[in-house]
């Protein structure tokens, strides 16, 4: 196992973070964030390194890494697309957004494209319910999404390089929702016929 | 009456600059903390108590009373945590405050810190809040540069440091003792209470945890006085509250309402009503954890603690989710059951297993393979969860489950494979009615 290493500037950042807290282990989450930003993901070697810095076991670090959903235990795509699937977003068409990404990239939620460009994930409410549907792409929110906006966005992302500190959200105009009623494959209409259809299968 | 008064005025008046210290001070910002520093800590606590301010994070506990539980002159340090984890589905009001008025949150934290004799305070952001975090950090830097934080704030002898902390994706880190565990660098698994955080919280020391909106309200109260605040709202629900509104409505967004505002008037006038061609199926008024209200229950309902309780729901976090009549209640419950099953921290068997079972049973019904027995089973499981676990996440699953089945039985029956005896189902629901909130 090659020992884990971070650039000197990141190590200095880690030490500054630890110094902020009355107890070393309290710096766990921010330190793991620094590691993930620098290394792209959190490897077992990185967990050992963090444990040594924080004065706790690698097992304690691993328990934390596996508990919190934003930490990646394996490499992910350059662009991590995390689409909210929770109620307000589902009510406003999150399913159509996720389906468009699946079709365009040929991957299912949880998977990464073969070229390592994109990872798709379904995530829970991101506190943007009034501008639903929405997703987080790396650190940035994109709100009021539509399948068409996904098309344009994927093209734009594919040719560009992630900037780790680019966080200002992109809030599109609320789309024309005249067709709202027809937006949903899962509707009361389906509810009424769904039982019989499933029976027939 | 729905005009912003206390929490949103600054942000709405000065869009694009309200987050800056200069803009905040131009409208009287940081006057309240100066006043607080000239008061005794007991007097600050008393003023907040008198205002009737209740916690805006979900539980509605009186804020001044919470502060008064902190033991005076304790040996160990006292800590303050601002809960900016905002993860309750349907809730996005703290985000609005942090992006548009971070100095109000910071000033509220300063006042709370002075009131409980705290010298190191934390603001815990959910990990996804990169942009609110950036705005907040800039605000903190401005405050340090001015000497508003650090040694002897505002020329007083009170030293005060703030640490900005952030999570990494876990709804349960929003629960106060889950947050303490998380801040200590562990899994966000809630603790058994007692001991309560006021006695033994962060780093085993007395700790106050307040929601972002709660703290952002404090400067106004201290500056204008408890009586001025108590003039807004109703006898028992004082002041104003933020409501974050979503769903198929004309004007979603964050609104500040005086407590006691009429729910239907809010929907029709302020939110612009439903989108064209969509009828109202129901409203979850206080975040996904509280029971849904049918249109009948919405009519005449008042948006305050007592008013919503009287209708069998709660203010919760103020996450106002409007549901259109184009979706099935089964879809809604499945969506939420998936959320709670995913977010259960797994410590308590009824919650860990129960959330998953409910999700599976609802899924089975949606696929057309469910039966009356499955519906009865969901109700039984809910009964085994509510009030029987370490934290309220299990209740937050049980409430929507019972409420959706109780209020939309036809939606569920329509999807079941066999016939459903509606009277028998109603009787099953009746046996679980005690789980739901009711007027006290
Ligand atoms: C499962 C669960 C999740 C919670 N999430 C949050 C949250 O995201 N933000 C919040 O302020 N309170 C949340 N709470 C409530 C907190 O436990 C706590 O009551 C609150 O932060 C106290 O602040 P307040 O008195 O100012 O409302 C949650 C509670 C539970 C049971
Ligand atoms: S009720 Fe659920 S979320 Fe809360 S402590 Fe128990 S298992 Fe964890
Ligand atoms: S439900 Fe998607 S952001 Fe809240």
H or E element that contains A13: helix A8-19
Q: List the 162-191 stretch of A: residues with Cβ below 8 A of B.
A: 167-169, 174, 177-178, 180-181, 184, 186-188, 190-191
Tell me how far the alpha carbon of residue A49 lies from the centroid of ligand 1, in angstroms: 33
Tell me how far the alpha carbon of residue B30 lies from the centroid of ligand 2, in angstroms: 39
Position B107 scores a pLDDT of 98
CA distance B424 to B430: 10
Nearest CA in chain B to A187: B327
Residue found by looking up tokens 């966005």 in the block: A153
SS3 A152: helix
The domains of chain B are located at: 9-230, 240-324, 329-435
- Report the mean per-residue pLDDT for chain A: 90
Nearest CA in chain A to B244: A130
| Residue of higher predicted confidence among A142 and A182 | A142
Which residue, by CA, sits nearest to atom 4 of ligand 2? B391
Q: Is the CB of A83 under 6 A from ligand 3?
A: no
CA dihedral A107, B339, B81, B8 (to 10 degrees): 90
Instruction: Give B177-211 pLDDT, tens digit per residue.
Output: 999 999 999 999 999 999 999 999 999 999 999 99
**pTM of the full predicted structure?**
0.96
Query: Over pLDDT 70: what percentage of chain B?
Result: 99
Chain centroid, CA B337 distance in Å? 19
B19 CB-near residues (< 8 Å, 6+ apart): B99, B100, B101, B102, B103, B135, B138, B139
Instruction: Give A108-136 pLDDT, tens digit per residue.
Output: 999 999 999 999 999 999 999 999 999 99
CA distance B66 to A188: 46
Question: At residue A2, does pLDDT exceed 80?
Answer: no
Residues with CB under 6 A from ligand 1: B 55-59, 61, 66, 83, 85-88, 171-172, 174-176, 209-211, 214, 391-393, 396
Nearest to B327 among A23, A187, A196 (CB): A187
Report the pLDDT averaged over residues A137-149.
Answer: 96
CA distance B393 to B190: 10
Contact B368 A124 (CB under 8 A): no
Sort B59 into a burial class: Cβ within 10 Å, 0-12 / 13-18 / 19+.
middle
ipTM of the prediction? 0.96
CA distance B322 to B255: 14
Closest-CA distance of chain B to residue A90, Å: 8
CATH: 1.10.10.1590, 3.40.1010.10, 1.20.1560.10, 1.20.1050.10. Which one for A8-67? 1.10.10.1590
Position B73 scores a pLDDT of 82
Closest-CA distance of chain B to residue A177, Å: 8
Position B47 scores a pLDDT of 98
Position A199 scores a pLDDT of 44
Tell me how far the alpha carbon of residue B173 lies from the centroid of ligand 1, in angstroms: 9
Q: What is the fold of B9-230?
A: Rossmann fold (3.40.50)
Both tokens of B338, joined, read 């998936």
Report the pLDDT averaged over residues B252-266.
Answer: 97
Question: What separation in angstroms does the CA of B198 have from each of A75, A101, B71, B202, B206?
Answer: 41, 47, 8, 9, 5
What's A86's DSSP letter? S
Q: List the 31-70 stretch of B: residues with Cβ below 8 A of A.
A: none
For the CA of B61, the closest atom of ligand 1 is 25
Position A177 scores a pLDDT of 87
Position A185 scores a pLDDT of 54
B142 CB-near residues (< 8 Å, 6+ apart): B20, B21, B103
Instruction: Give B76-94 pLDDT, tens digit per residue.
Output: 999 999 999 999 999 999 9
Question: At residue A191, does pLDDT exceed 70?
Answer: no
For residue A194, the tally of other CB atoms under 10 A from its CB is 21
Q: Is the CB of B174 under 6 A from ligand 3?
A: no
Both tokens of B431, joined, read 């046996």
CATH: 3.40.50.2300, 3.20.20.80, 3.40.50.1470, 3.10.20.600. Which one for B240-324? 3.10.20.600
Q: Which residues of B touch A139 (CB under 8 A)?
A: 130
A80 CB-near residues (< 8 Å, 6+ apart): A118, A119, A121, A136, A137, A138
Position A195 scores a pLDDT of 44
Interstrand relation of B161-166 and B280-284 (parallel, antiparallel or unpaired): unpaired
Position A162 scores a pLDDT of 87
B240: nearest Cα among B21, B73, B15, B54: B54
Question: At residue B406, does pLDDT exceed 80?
Answer: yes
What's A67's DSSP letter? H
Instruction: Give B382-396 pLDDT, tens digit per residue.
Output: 999 999 999 999 999
With helix as H, strand as E and coil as C, how does chain B read? CCCCCCCCHHHHHCCCCCCCHHHHHHCCCCHHHHHHHCCCHHHHHHHHHHHCCECCCCCCCEHHHHHHCCCCCCCCCCEEEEEECCCCCCCCHHHHHHHHCHHHHHHHHHHHHHHCCCCEEEEEECCCCHHHHHHHHHHHHHHHHCCCCECCHHHCCCCEEEEEEECCCCHHHHCHHHHHHHHCCCCCCCCCCCCCCCCCCHHHCCEEEEEHHHHHHHHHHHHHCHHHHHCCECCCCECEEEEEEECCECCCEEEEEECCEEHHHHHHHHCCCECCCCCEEEEECCCCCCCCECHHHHCCCEECHHHHHHCCCCCCCCEEEEEECCCCHHHHHHHHHHHHHHHCCCCCHHHHHHHHHHHHHHHHHHCCCCCHHHHHHHHHHHHHHCCCCCCCHHHHHHHHHHHHHHHCHHHHHHHCCCCCCHHHHHHHHHHCHHHCCCCC
Report the pLDDT averaged over residues B62-71.
Answer: 97
Q: Which residues pair with B238 in a beta bridge?
A: B233
Q: List the 131-170 stretch of B: residues with Cβ below 8 A of A.
A: 131, 133-134, 163, 165-170
Question: At residue B52, does pLDDT exceed 90?
Answer: yes
Both tokens of B111, joined, read 């006042």
Sort B368 into a burial class: Cβ within 10 Å, 0-12 / 13-18 / 19+.
buried
B263 CB-near residues (< 8 Å, 6+ apart): B283, B285, B293, B298, B299, B300, B301, B302, B303
Query: Over pLDDT 90: what percentage of chain A?
Result: 82
**Domain B329-435, architecture per CATH:** Up-down Bundle (1.20)
Position A194 scores a pLDDT of 46
Position A184 scores a pLDDT of 65
Closest-CA distance of chain A to residue B90, Å: 6
Report the pLDDT averaged over residues B138-161.
Answer: 97
Interchain contact B367–A (C-beta under 8 A): yes
Ligand nearest to the CA of B215: 1
Instruction: Give B272-317 pLDDT, tens digit per residue.
Output: 999 998 999 999 999 999 999 999 999 999 999 999 999 999 999 9
Q: So what CATH class is A79-190?
A: alpha beta
Position A163 scores a pLDDT of 85
For the CA of B126, the closest atom of ligand 1 is 8
Residue burial B12-46, b: 16+ Cβ < 10 Å; e: rest: eebeeebbbbebbeeeebbebbbebbebebeebbb
Question: At residue A187, does pLDDT exceed 80?
Answer: no
Instruction: Give A27-81 pLDDT, tens digit per residue.
Output: 999 999 999 999 999 999 999 999 999 999 999 999 999 999 999 999 999 999 9
Sort B4 into a burial class: Cβ within 10 Å, 0-12 / 13-18 / 19+.
middle
Nearest CA in chain A to B186: A64
Interchain contact A199–B (C-beta under 8 A): yes
Nearest CA in chain B to A139: B130
Q: How many cross-chain Cβ pairs, A to B, lie less than 8 Å apart?
A: 203
Tell me how far the alpha carbon of residue B88 lies from the centroid of ligand 3, in angstroms: 9
Question: At residue A193, does pLDDT exceed 60?
Answer: no
A76 CB-near residues (< 8 Å, 6+ apart): A40, A41, A112, A119
Tell me how far the alpha carbon of residue B362 lies from the centroid of ligand 2, in angstroms: 21
Question: At residue B365, does pLDDT exceed 80?
Answer: yes
């Amino acid at each position: 196992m090659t020992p884990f290493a971070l650039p000197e500037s990141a190590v200095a950042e880690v030490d500054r973070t630890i110094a902020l807290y009355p107890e070393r282990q309290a710096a766990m989450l921010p330190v793991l964030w620094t590691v993930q930003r620098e290394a792209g993901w959190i490897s077992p070697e990185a967990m050992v390194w963090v444990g040594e810095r924080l004065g706790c076991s690698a097992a304690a670090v691993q328990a934390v890494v596996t508990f919190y959903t934003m930490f990646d235990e394996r490499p992910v795509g350059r662009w991590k697309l995390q689409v909210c699937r929770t109620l307000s977003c589902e009510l406003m068409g999150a399913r159509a957004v996720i389906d468009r990404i699946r079709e365009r990239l040929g991957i299912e939620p949880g998977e990464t494209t073969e070229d390592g460009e994109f990872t798709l994930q379904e995530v829970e409410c991101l506190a943007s319910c009034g501008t639903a549907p929405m997703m987080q792409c790396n650190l940035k929110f994109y709100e009021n999404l539509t399948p068409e906006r996904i098309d344009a966005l994927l093209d734009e992302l594919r040719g560009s390089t992630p900037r780790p500190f680019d966080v200002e959200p992109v809030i599109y105009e609320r789309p024309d929702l005249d067709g709202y009623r027809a937006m949903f494959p899962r509707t009361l209409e389906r509810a009424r016929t769904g039982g019989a259809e499933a029976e027939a299968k | 009456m729905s005009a912003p008064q206390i929490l949103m005025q600054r942000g709405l008046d000065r869009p694009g600059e309200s987050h800056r210290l200069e803009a905040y001070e131009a409208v009287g910002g940081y006057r309240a903390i100066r006043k607080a520093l000239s008061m005794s800590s007991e007097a600050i606590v008393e003023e907040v108590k008198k205002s009737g301010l209740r916690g805006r994070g979900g539980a509605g506990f009186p804020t001044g009373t919470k502060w008064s539980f902190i033991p005076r002159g304790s040996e160990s340090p006292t800590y303050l945590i601002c809960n900016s984890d905002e993860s309750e589905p349907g809730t996005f009001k703290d985000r609005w405050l942090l992006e548009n008025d971070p100095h109000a949150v910071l000033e509220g934290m300063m006042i709370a810190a002075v009131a409980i004799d705290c010298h190191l305070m934390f603001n815990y952001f959910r990990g996804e809040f990169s942009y609110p975090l950036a705005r907040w950090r800039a605000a903190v830097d401005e405050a340090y540069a001015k000497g508003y934080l650090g040694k002897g704030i505002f020329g007083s002898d009170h030293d005060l440091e703030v640490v900005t902390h952030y999570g990494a994706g876990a709804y349960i880190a929003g629960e106060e003792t889950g947050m303490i565990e998380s801040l200590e660098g562990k899994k966000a698994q809630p603790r058994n209470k007692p001991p309560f955080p006021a006695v033994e919280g962060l780093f085993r020391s007395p700790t106050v945890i307040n929601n972002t909106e709660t703290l952002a309200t404090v400067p106004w109260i201290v500056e204008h006085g408890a009586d001025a605040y108590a003039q807004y709202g109703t006898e028992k629900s004082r002041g104003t509250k933020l409501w974050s509104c979503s769903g198929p409505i004309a004007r979603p967004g964050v609104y500040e309402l005086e407590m006691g505002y009429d729910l239907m008037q809010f929907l029709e006038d302020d939110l612009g009503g439903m989108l064209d061609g969509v009828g109202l199926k129901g409203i979850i008024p206080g975040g996904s954890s509280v029971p849904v209200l049918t249109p009948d229950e919405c009519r005449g309902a008042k948006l305050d603690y007592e008013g919503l309780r009287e209708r069998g729901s709660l203010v919760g976090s103020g996450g106002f989710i409007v549901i259109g009549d184009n979706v099935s209640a089964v879809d809604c419950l499945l969506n939420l059951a998936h959320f709670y099953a995913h977010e259960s921290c797994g410590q308590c068997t009824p919650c860990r297993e129960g959330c998953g079972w409910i999700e599976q049973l609802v899924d089975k019904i949606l696929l057309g393979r469910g039966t009356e027995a499955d519906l009865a089973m969901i109700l039984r499981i809910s009964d085994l969860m509510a009030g029987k676990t370490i934290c309220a996440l299990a209740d937050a699953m049980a409430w929507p489950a019972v409420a959706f089945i109780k209020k939309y039985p036809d939606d569920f029956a329509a999807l079941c494979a066999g016939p459903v005896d509606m009277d028998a189902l109603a009787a099953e629901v009746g046996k679980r009615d005690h789980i739901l909130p009711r007027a006290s």
